[in-house]
Amino acid sequence: MSHSFPVRIFYEDTDMAGVVYYANYLRYIERARSD
């Protein structure tokens, strides 16, 4: 079973290298779970 949920990544969610900071994944997972 797979699930896809498009998420817009904002600059504030990334580090100086432009990579999404690992702790922000929890926000994305929670947003996908509740929608």
Per-residue pLDDT tens over the stretch 3-29: 888 989 999 999 999 999 899 999 988
Q: Which domain holds residue 12?
A: 1-35
Hey, what long-range contacts does 26-30 have (CB within 8 A, 24 or more apart)? none
- The answer on pLDDT for 35 being more than 80 is no
At residue 17, the pLDDT reads 93
- If one counts the domains in the chain, the total is 1
The model carries a pTM of: 0.60
At residue 34, the pLDDT reads 87
Inter-residue contact 27 to 1 (CB < 8 Å) = no
By annotation, the residues acting in catalysis are: 15
At residue 2, the pLDDT reads 85
